[in-house]
Amino acid sequence: MIVAERKPLEEIERMLGGAERVLVVGCGTCVAVCMAGGEKEVELLASQLRMRAEAAGRRRRIDRVTLTRQCDREYLDTLAAYVDEYNVLLSTACGAGVQLLAERFDGKLVLPALNTRFIGVAEGPGLWSQRCLACGECLLHLTGGICPMTLCPKNLLNGPCGGTNHGKCEVNPENDCAWTLIYRRLEKLGRLDLLEAIQPPKDYRPMTKPVRVVHPAFQTESQTPAQ
């Protein structure tokens, strides 16, 4: 899932400036799971902004709504009936949701309330870790399901560097060396033979930005790759 964190309240206040009518728009998927931008977090943020406005003697209307997803146009359409009541939309979605919201309502100032961090997994209550760079060229079948592009700070594709020390990373000694983890996983699977193949340099072309993906079922003739 996409993991995000809420921006400091002071930064959000600076972005809002003198806005008098603010709609806080939440997202009910990834950022709700990581407790950054779901319904509860939207309610808390709206309450904090109201209290700050009252304490400063400022007239400011703060309303809130949480959508199922902000990265899907069909869910944004529900805002169309009343979005003109506000001069600022404060989004608690990831960066993708913020951008789609701004595109859908391009006459409104759309502001991000979160900092999008990474694609990751939940390790425990309130703890998430990065696992994927969305590099477009997955090699997990060769590394026992452990991603060296993400877990190795040097993105090494052919074993550990000379700085690994007792299974720890030289860049951050608190982290396990990604290639030590890979070795141990492949050893457990009886597939150490996979380490014998030298991987070519990473093909970064799939990471060329921005990327668009069209499902084969929806491809037109002009979108179908040449054979």
Rg (CA), the chain: 22
Q: What CATH topology corresponds to 2-118? A: Rossmann fold (3.40.50)
Q: Where are the domains positioned within the chain?
A: 2-118, 135-202
Residues 60, 53 contacting (CB under 8 angstroms): yes
pLDDT digit string (tens) for 83-99? 999 999 999 999 999 99
This prediction's pTM: 0.86
pLDDT digit string (tens) for 15-68? 999 999 999 999 999 999 999 999 999 999 999 999 999 999 999 999 999 999
pLDDT of 120 higher than 80: yes
